[in-house]
Amino acid sequence: MSVLHFEYKMEIKYEEYVGRCYFTIKCIPKEDARQHLRGLKLSVLPEVAYSWGKDSFGNRQIYGCETEPHNQFVFQAVGDVEIIQTDYEEEAGDETTGIFRVPHGKCVPGPGLSEYYKSQDFSRCKSHYEICMALMHSLHQDFSYVPGATQVNTTAEEAWGMGRGVCQDYAHIYITLLRMAGIPARYVCGLIIGEGASHAWAEALCGNRWIAFDPTNDCLVLDHYIKLGHGRDAADCAINRGLMWNGGAQSQTISVLVEKCE
Amino acid sequence: MQQLELLKHTDKINELLARYGVKFGIYKNNIFKEQLFPFDSIPRIIEHKEFSHLEKGLKQRVMALNLFLKDIYSKKQIVKDGIVPEDFIFASSGYMAECEGTVPPKGIYSHISGIDLVKGKDDNWYILEDNLRVPSGASYPMIARDLCRRSSPDTFHNYRLEDNRNYADLLRRAMDYVNPGGHTVILTPGRYNAAYFEHSYLAEKTGAHLATGSELIVENDTLYYISSDGTREKVGAVYRRISDEYLDPMNFNPESLIGIPHIYEVFRKGNVALINAPGNGVADDKGIYYFVPKMIRYYLDEEPILCNAPTYLPFYEEDMKYVLSHFDELVLKDVAEAGGYGVVFGNSMTKQQKQDFIDLLQREPRRFIAQEVIDFQDLDILEQGEIVPRKADLRAFVLMAEEPMVWKSGLTRFSRNTDSFIVNSSQGGGFKDTWVLYQ
């Protein structure tokens, strides 16, 4: 068990004043069998009333509408997360998992990924878990971590074609491949120990357990990861979704800090 | 029938319909064209006994479809029990993951269902398709009946027929039943929408506010209507005449300009009823159609009263074999298309087309259904003073409140083309009033 302190800050600056802005933010750590959240502090600037809710995947969200003209929007969440168990995410419940098995959104295989999938040899894998491991190792070898090569909207197939990308691309490609193998897989958005940005990985259904794999780092997800939310692809658990009137060009800065509490 | 005094007024009624703005917008080759919806004054007449049978069958079907939707967006017991394969749910374009886990007020998904039927030459009625998203068309027979009564009151003295002008009452009941408190609004994309006449007509007849997205706003998990003087009124029910993906740019298509940001969150919290509920497309998918009789048996433990057109799913190997060996006798439908598009008759293809189609079918078996061509009864229509037979269908409307209510009328559409089986108004067909006789 470990306790992680986290700080998530998002700052958006607009060139011109925004007259009205709707926002939905999903950056509150999940409360589940794996992790427990305590001492959460939220702040939104300019100050505005917001509502709490859950999306259809159970991810917590806060949402609202800023109606005062503003040229910057700052959102911050600070708290501690107790990581209770490390070896698996959660027991699969009674729900059908098919929704995480069919191709969807950014995770639809094209010719490139289909061919790559066919080149894989699972003959020695005795379980879904072993297939997940084998695919993770292959992908880690055959894809390069290069920030800036891809965009938020890049699909798994496009990223694979470029041969490089960031954690979102690793997760998208990995999920696409797992689903081709018939293994239900979820995209996970979260935070990892250190300083920087948010992270992404995948959970795969092995037997009746969701096991979390980090294809970017070629390892299992252990007690230095904080899970924020999951979905079919990155769009389902996007940390920030906004809709604004006017504002012109905008620049967004995200800073994340996660450290172990003694 | 041909002697009906009413028939003399056909032109006059069409003129009035045009004046009232009864028009239908169609897209052809990407060009939007507004055209009149031609009215034929020879009514389709359904005897009391025959309609009672339809009524029972329609209620049963809509009950089962509602239970199916509730199940699919929660426990999915019908999938777990192996009645409907998982692929047909999650790969359906109408399935919306965003709707998982949210139960609409009173558990009703399809408040207004438009069920399309045809009457075969064997005198049996067959269900052609279920429309559970935003089925339109009820306003046309409503206003036509009104104009007919005014033009030829005598005709209506001589027939003992059900008054169909109560549609607005049924609709109001369905809307009020699920309204958790607040005003009722009909949400329209605006006056350039194909069915704008219907939106405004139903608003007027039900006493609901007619609003566009910009007149509705979400605040503190509550939906408000902003009236012309700027005051805010809480809204409890929205009969939305825009499709799911445009409803809420913060949850669905972010490009939508006609929706209301965060309205879906208000719905999630149970503070507003959306009529019909989002996500219904998973139940009126052409692939799911095949399973409706099974749903009736599964959820209601009853035998279906109305039958489907005999349908084959190439997804099943056995059905694929049948389809390939009886190709020329079947009509093939692309499950993703609507409005009469994506429908091909096996016997109308050239050898090459047929081969290409079969290749496609074998590559994407989930994408198509195949049906026996139903030889359906012609109805008489008046074309330039002459009575001629034409293919016609019937869209019946079922409204859901405490229990399902079937509107004792319906939209009868006919093909103006002699040899066409396709009666959709989006393909230039006309319509008739539907008379249901009472005992």
Name the pTM for this structure: 0.94
Query: Is residue A76 very low, low, confident or very high in pLDDT (cuts 50, 70, 90)?
Result: very high
Calculate mean pLDDT across residues B54-79.
97
Instruction: Report pLDDT for B25.
Output: 67
d(CA B260, CA B250): 8
Q: How distant is the Cα of A178 from the closest Cα of chain B, in angstroms?
A: 17
Q: How distant is the Cα of A56 from the closest Cα of chain B, in angstroms?
A: 5
Average pLDDT, chain B: 92
Q: For residue B182, how far is the Cα from the chain centroid?
A: 27
Examine the pLDDT at A227 and tell me if it is beyond 90.
yes
Tell me if A99 and B90 make a contact (CB, 8 A cut-off): yes
Kindly list the domain boundaries of chain B, sorted by start residue: 5-288+401-436, 310-372
Instruction: Report pLDDT for B338.
Output: 64
Kindly list the domain boundaries of chain A, sorted by start residue: 2-84+239-260, 90-236
User: How does pLDDT run across B282-313, given as a tens digit for each residue?
Assistant: 999 888 999 999 999 999 999 999 999 999 99
Locate B122 and state its tokens.
Answer: 């064997």
Q: How distant is the Cα of A122 from the closest Cα of chain B, in angstroms?
A: 25
The correct answer on CATH 2.60.40.2250 for the domain covering A2-84+239-260 is yes
Q: Which residues contact A25 (CB under 8 A, 6 or more apart)?
A: A10, A61, A62, A63, A75, A239, A240, A241
Examine the pLDDT at A140 and tell me if it is beyond 80.
yes
- Nearest alpha-carbon partner for B403 in B92, B69, B170, B168: B170
Helix %, strand %, coil % of chain B (to 5): 35, 25, 35
The correct answer on CATH 3.30.1490.270 for the domain covering B310-372 is yes
Q: Write down the architecture of domain A90-236 according to CATH.
A: Roll (3.10)
φ/ψ (deg, to 5) at A77: -130, 130
Chain B residue numbers with beta carbons less than 8 Å from the beta carbon of A54 are: 268
Query: Is residue B239 very low, low, confident or very high in pLDDT (cuts 50, 70, 90)?
Result: very high
- Residue B250 has its nearest CB partner, among A51, A102, A243, at A243
Instruction: Report pLDDT for B420.
Output: 63
Which of A20, A25, A51 is best to mutate for the B interface (most B CBs within 10 A)? Answer: A51
Query: Is residue B339 very low, low, confident or very high in pLDDT (cuts 50, 70, 90)?
Result: low
Strand partners, B337: none
- Nearest alpha-carbon partner for B262 in B225, B216, B206: B216
d(CA B337, CA A143): 38
